[in-house]
């Protein structure tokens, strides 16, 4: 392309009309024609640069990664488009990646020629400012996944009615008790929410606030203050309500957010959307982490068992005792946790597991000693004795479990099931060790090993299952109390009472002794089957409940993006900065606390 061709292209461009020919020639002197093959990048997000490009022939794709690392298509631009001007105007890193679709010919402008054209053409300068404003707002809206279901062309229209406001650290953005008339999205910086002077949340880019008052028609429940410098995207009440009325998936997302952030409030107009129907095939596959636990602990148990029998070492027998006592309980907890879609950290589960072992076992032993052993009532063939033991042990485990998980963040039935399983199996692990130790003390290593193997195999049918069911019953009772009065809460209360009664009965029947061994085996099989069956139903119900909330807040959106390599962190899970929930990679908003999720850099 000759210099005259470049000058002719600039002179015919709609944005550059009116610039005198000498000025165009000065600018054209430093403009370089370049070409890009299909798939080549003109600009790369995050890079620094001092160039921008006029597209002369061909098309380019503009894409950017959102907070969770997913690539979003922002636009496809053809001849005459200008790309890269945002970085030059704002003097910041590239905000998007621009990739050639097919062969592309372009004109590369350095900062000097770009600024010369902007100075000489008021039309060019004003058009650039308007274009940059719309593109920036569109990019922020596109990356704020709450709008992911809105078609891109309409999202650009939304960008035109959205205002960008700067915020300075310490600015009071919304006051508690004020009438809600705007919706706020955080484009950059941090915002702190306080209710009655107590901090309730810290929000960052991708988060939003103000929707509670707009949805429920109530005054603002919190004071929002800028915790650092940044910018806000602000939308008026009428525009916000129009979008919710027009786009059903977006409305469903905000209704779910209202249930998360303000479960005590109801929307002004009830949604007429049909609830999300969850089938078994729609549920994500359970994670198989329990296999790793079984292989490592089970393999270690087998190896230590063989060494202890061959070498007859007290230290090896003690190590076998510890590993054998924990192999069944840990594997069971890993199995139940693998079925949870929105879980907590392993550290938190481990704390419940160990606390139950350290606190619940001594507490139950003391209460049993005072009420039964000390009173000379240790005959387990009488139903009253195992019934008392059942009440004491389940009460001790639940006490520890509830003391550690008493939080508004325990939103789902599966939370109670998993925490209950951890508390129950912590109790079972120490019980296994105590039983094995009693045989080891009798100088019977083979007896100790036999006991550990049997208890490891029976672990799924005992404490973990019972406490998981009991914790689910308490969760259902608490959910019933939080619901409005009516038939459904009453049914939930009855269900909770029946679950707790079933747990006490199952535990008591498991401990009941018979003279005939065959009768005892049959009873244990029936009790174990009933417990596993109840737990299976609870897990199935809990998984559907989790997925329903997850799908409402994070609808699947297929992005038509070409020529983009997979993000380096595109696998694994996302951890919420607000509540610690571990969510699947495709999640954009935490279904437990509503915060925007972020991939680690």
Domain contains 168 = yes
Its pTM stands at: 0.80
Domain contains 572 = no
Q: Is-contact 356 397, C-beta < 8 A?
A: yes
Domain termination residue (choose one: 274, 289, 322): 274
Domain contains 307 = yes
The verdict on 270 and 293 lying in the same domain is no
CA-to-CA dists, residue 483 to 173, 265, 487, 490, angstroms? 32, 11, 10, 10
CA-to-CA dists, residue 144 to 148, 548, 591, 595, angstroms? 7, 21, 16, 11
The tokens for 172 are 């009071």
> What is the pLDDT of the chain when averaged over all its residues?
83
Domain contains 310 = yes
Range of the domain at 63: 3-143
Mean pLDDT, rounded, for 323-331:
89
Among 325-329, 400-404, 593-597, name the one with the lowest average pLDDT.
Answer: 400-404
Domain contains 504 = yes
The verdict on 265 and 166 lying in the same domain is yes
Domain termination residue (choose one: 218, 240, 274): 274
Domain termination residue (choose one: 111, 143, 175): 143
Give me the number of domains the chain comprises: 3
Alpha helices in 55-179 (DSSP H): 85-90, 111-120, 122-143, 152-160
φ and ψ at residue 575, rounded to 5 degrees:
-110, 125
The verdict on 184 and 133 lying in the same domain is no
Q: State the number of CA atoms in the 13 A half-sphere of 363 facing the CB.
A: 17
Non-local (6+) Cβ contacts of 66 within 8 A are: 72, 142, 143, 145, 206, 588
The verdict on 318 and 428 lying in the same domain is yes
H or E element, residue 253: helix 248-261
The verdict on 341 and 411 lying in the same domain is yes
H or E element, residue 494: helix 487-511
The verdict on 491 and 529 lying in the same domain is yes
The verdict on 421 and 438 lying in the same domain is yes
Residue 443 has pLDDT above 70, yes or no: no
Confidence of residue 557 (pLDDT cuts 50, 70, 90): low
From CA 135, how far away is CA 433, in angstroms rounded? Answer: 64
Q: Is-contact 588 555, C-beta < 8 A?
A: no
Residue 126 has pLDDT above 50, yes or no: yes
Mean pLDDT, rounded, for 161-175:
91
The verdict on 420 and 381 lying in the same domain is yes
From CA 273, how far away is CA 596, in angstroms rounded? Answer: 24
Domain contains 577 = no
Residue 339 has pLDDT above 70, yes or no: yes
Domain contains 560 = no
Q: Which span out of 269-283, 300-314, 369-383 was modeled with the highest average pLDDT?
A: 300-314
Q: Does residue 387 or residue 123 have the better pLDDT?
A: 387
Residues above pLDDT 90, as percent of the chain: 28
The verdict on 502 and 438 lying in the same domain is yes
């Amino acid at each position: 392309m000759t210099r005259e061709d470049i000058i002719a292209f600039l002179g015919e461009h709609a944005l550059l009309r009116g610039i005198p020919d000498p000025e165009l020639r000065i600018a054209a002197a430093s403009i370089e024609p370049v070409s890009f093959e299909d798939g080549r990048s003109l600009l790369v997000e995050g890079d620094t640069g001092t160039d921008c490009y006029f597209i002369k022939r061909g098309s380019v794709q503009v894409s950017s990664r959102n907070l969770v690392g997913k690539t979003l298509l922002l636009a496809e631009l053809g001849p005459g488009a200008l790309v890269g001007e945002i970085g030059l105007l704002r003097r910041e890193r590239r905000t998007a990646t621009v990739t050639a679709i097919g062969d592309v010919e372009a004109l590369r402008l350095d900062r000097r020629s770009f600024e010369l054209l902007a100075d000489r053409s008021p039309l060019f300068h004003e058009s650039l400012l308007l274009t940059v404003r719309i593109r920036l707002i569109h990019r922020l809206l596109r990356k704020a996944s709450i709008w992911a279901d809105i078609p891109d062309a309409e999202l650009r229209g939304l960008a035109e009615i959205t205002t960008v406001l700067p915020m300075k650290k310490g600015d009071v953005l919304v006051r508690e008790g004020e009438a809600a008339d705007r919706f706020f999205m955080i484009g950059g910086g941090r915002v702190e929410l306080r209710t009655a002077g107590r901090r309730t949340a810290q929000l960052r880019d991708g988060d939003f606030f103000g929707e509670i008052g707009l949805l429920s028609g109530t005054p603002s429940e919190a004071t929002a203050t800028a915790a650092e410098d940044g910018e806000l995207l602000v939308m008026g009440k009428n525009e916000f309500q129009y979008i919710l009325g027009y786009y059903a998936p977006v409305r469903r997302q905000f209704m779910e957010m209202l249930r998360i952030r303000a479960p005590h409030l109801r929307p002004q107009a009830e949604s007429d959307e049909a609830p999300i129907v969850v089938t078994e095939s729609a549920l994500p596959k359970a994670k198989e982490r329990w296999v790793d636990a079984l292989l490592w602990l089970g393999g270690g148990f087998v190896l230590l068992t063989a060494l202890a029998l061959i070498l007859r070492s007290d230290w090896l027998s003690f190590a076998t005792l510890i590993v054998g006592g924990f192999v069944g309980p840990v594997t069971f907890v890993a199995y139940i946790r693998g079925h949870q879609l929105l879980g907590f950290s392993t550290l938190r589960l481990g704390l419940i597991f160990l606390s139950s072992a350290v606190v619940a076992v001594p507490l139950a032993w003391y209460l049993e000693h005072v009420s039964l052993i000390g009173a000379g009532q240790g005959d387990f063939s009488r139903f009253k004795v195992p019934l008392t033991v059942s009440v004491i042990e389940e009460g001790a485990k639940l006490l520890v479990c509830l003391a550690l998980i008493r939080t508004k963040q325990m939103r789902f039935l599966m939370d109670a099931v998993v925490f209950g399983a951890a508390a129950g199996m912590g109790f079972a692990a120490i019980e296994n060790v105590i039983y094995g130790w009693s045989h080891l003390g009798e100088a019977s290593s083979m007896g100790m090993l036999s006991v550990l193997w049997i208890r490891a195999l029976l672990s799924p049918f005992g404490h973990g299952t019972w406490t998981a069911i009991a914790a689910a019953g308490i969760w259902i009772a608490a959910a019933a109390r939080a619901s409005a009065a009516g038939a459904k809460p009453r049914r939930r209360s009855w269900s909770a009472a029946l679950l707790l009664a079933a747990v006490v009965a199952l535990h008591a029947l498991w401990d009941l002794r018979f003279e005939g061994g065959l009768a005892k085996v049959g009873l244990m099989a029936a009790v174990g089957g009933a417990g596993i069956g109840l737990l299976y139903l609870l897990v199935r119900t809990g998984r559907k409940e989790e997925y329903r909330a997850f799908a409402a807040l994070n609808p699947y959106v297929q992005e038509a993006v070409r020529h983009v390599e997979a993000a380096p962190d595109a696998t694994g899970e996302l951890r919420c900065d607000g509540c610690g929930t571990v969510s699947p990679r495709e999640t954009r908003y935490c279904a437990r606390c509503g915060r925007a999720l972020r991939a680690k850099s």
